[in-house]
């Protein structure tokens, strides 16, 4: 048996959903640059789930279904109100709330394709309402109900802030959702596939994926990037902070990637978006700091930013609190997880690799009195 730490380079499945080839990312064959520029979140989700871009009619029906399913059962928010609201992490809340959605769905265990596609829509639609609702509840306010005439990106910002977002805000957020929707066999997607390959249900698959996304080596890195920017405080202190961090072999969040070796194409798009958006406001400090951090990391370690780096500045500029950055990632990535879950069900086999045992050899059992 051979082992590869962290399964680096191991090809664990075939998939027709997204591909990373020579640092080019595609969803169903369409480049991420094209989708970011010309598509929108709902259209990209349709593409990921169905394999083809929708016609105008198909997109209209899909948008309508998502909007109609965005309302979250009141039981979910009632339970959330009982949590330790000022200490609990929103990703823990989201993980629990998605599991609770499964508890409340009488069809949770139906395994036919139609029923799973309906559940996929319900889940995708509700997850944004849960994140925004939690943010309101912890401020002591009631959740804002979703509007049927808004797309998912605008609806989320509306439910979060209680005002209709501007077109610029909606476009920036919608594009960020498109960019984060899927990413081949990343850790959370693999987790989802392992889970549902036991023929467990779609809510279990997404709950376990949220759990994996939460970690700072994966989706949790975007919040850590913001923590770092806040800790550095001003552009003049970037060099000192980074030199110290590298000298103590500390990892710089938002840099490096298991697959991309010449840079993450999403980071380049997010960098441009974050730059344009911050320049419209008054405070360009975090963006300037990010530019210098990127320069230093490239120079000193040959490390390039991943998708979590500039998304932090972008979300901050959109007025989103930093501990909601990873839940926002989850809103988008639910679409990719669901696409992979449906693909896994369509040609399933239990995922059960082996471990190379390196513990003690066979030894006699000693009764407790003799140890």
Ligand X SMILES: CC(=O)SCCNC(=O)CCNC(=O)[C@H](O)C(C)(C)COP(=O)(O)OP(=O)(O)OC[C@H]1O[C@@H](n2cnc3c(N)ncnc32)[C@H](O)[C@@H]1OP(=O)(O)O
Active site residues: 257, 308
- Residues 337/286, Cβ–Cβ less than 8 Å: no
The one of ligand X, ligand OAA, none whose footprint includes residue 221, by CB under 5 to 8 A per kind, is ligand X
Cβ at position 213, least distance to ligand OAA in Å: 8
Instruction: Tell which positions 232-291 bind ligand X, by CB under 6 A.
Output: 251-258
Q: Look at residue 90 and give the partner it binds from ligand OAA, ligand X, none, a contact being a CB closer than 5 to 8 Å depending on partner kind.
A: none
The residue (of 241 and 309) whose beta carbon lies closer to ligand OAA is 309
Nearer to ligand OAA, 122 or 257 (CB): 257
How many CB atoms are closer than 10 A to CB 94? 27
Contact segment (CB under 6 A) with ligand X among 9-17, 122-130, 168-176, 306-314 equals 306-314
Question: Is there binding between residue 205 and ligand X (CB under 6 A)?
Answer: no
223 near ligand X, rule: CB under 6 A = no
Q: How near is the Cβ of 47 to ligand OAA at its closest, in Å?
A: 17
Q: Looking at the DSSP assignment, which residues form a beta bridge with residue 18?
A: 27
Question: Residue with CB nearest ligand X?
Answer: 256
Q: How many residues bind ligand X (CB under 6 A)?
A: 18
Nearer Cβ to ligand X, position 252 or 342?
Answer: 252
Looking at the DSSP assignment, which residues form a beta bridge with residue 25? 20
Minimum Å gap between C-beta 299 and ligand X is 13
Give least dist CB 258 to ligand OAA, A. 5
Asked if 221 interacts with ligand X (CB under 6 A), we say: yes
Residues that bind ligand X (CB under 6 A): 6, 217-219, 221, 251-258, 301, 303, 306-308
């Amino acid at each position: 048996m051979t082992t590869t730490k962290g399964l680096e380079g191991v090809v664990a499945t075939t998939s027709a959903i997204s591909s990373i080839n020579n640092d080019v990312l595609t969803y169903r064959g369409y480049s991420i640059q094209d989708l970011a520029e010309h598509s929108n979140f709902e259209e990209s989700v349709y593409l990921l789930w169905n394999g083809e871009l929708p016609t105008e009619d198909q997109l209209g029906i899909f948008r309508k279904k998502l909007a109609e399913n965005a309302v979250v059962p009141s039981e979910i928010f009632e339970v959330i109100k009982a949590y330790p609201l000022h200490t609990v992490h929103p990703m823990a809340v989201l993980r629990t709330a998605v599991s609770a959605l499964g508890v409340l769905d009488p069809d949770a265990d139906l395994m036919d394709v139609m029923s799973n596609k309906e559940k996929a829509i319900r889940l995708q639609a509700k997850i944004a309402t849960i994140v925004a609702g939690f943010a309101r509840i912890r401020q002591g306010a009631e959740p804002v109900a979703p509007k049927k005439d808004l797309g998912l990106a605008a609806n989320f910002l509306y439910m979060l802030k209680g005002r209709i977002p501007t077109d610029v805000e909606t476009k920036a957020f919608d594009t960020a959702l498109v960019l984060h929707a899927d990413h081949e066999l990343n850790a959370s997607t693999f987790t989802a596939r392992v889970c549902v390959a036991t023929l467990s249900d779609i809510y279990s698959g997404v709950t376990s994926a949220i759990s994996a996304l939460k970690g700072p080596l994966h989706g949790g890195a975007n919040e850590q990037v913001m923590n770092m920017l806040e800790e550095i405080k001003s552009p003049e202190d970037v060099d000192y902070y980074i030199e110290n961090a590298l000298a103590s072999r500390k990892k710089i969040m938002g840099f490096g990637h298991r697959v991309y070796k010449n840079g993450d194409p999403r980071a380049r798009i997010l960098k441009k978006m974050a730059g344009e958006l911050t320049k419209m406001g008054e405070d360009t400090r975090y963006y300037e700091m990010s530019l210098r951090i990127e320069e230093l990391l490239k120079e000193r370690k040959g490390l390039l930013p991943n998708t979590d780096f500039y998304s932090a500045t972008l979300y901050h500029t959109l007025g989103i609190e930093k501990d909601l950055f990873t839940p926002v990632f989850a809103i988008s990535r639910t679409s990719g997880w669901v696409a992979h879950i449906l693909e896994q069900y369509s040609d399933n086999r239990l995922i059960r690799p082996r471990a190379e045992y390196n513990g003690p050899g066979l030894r006699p059992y000693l009764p407790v009195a003799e140890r």
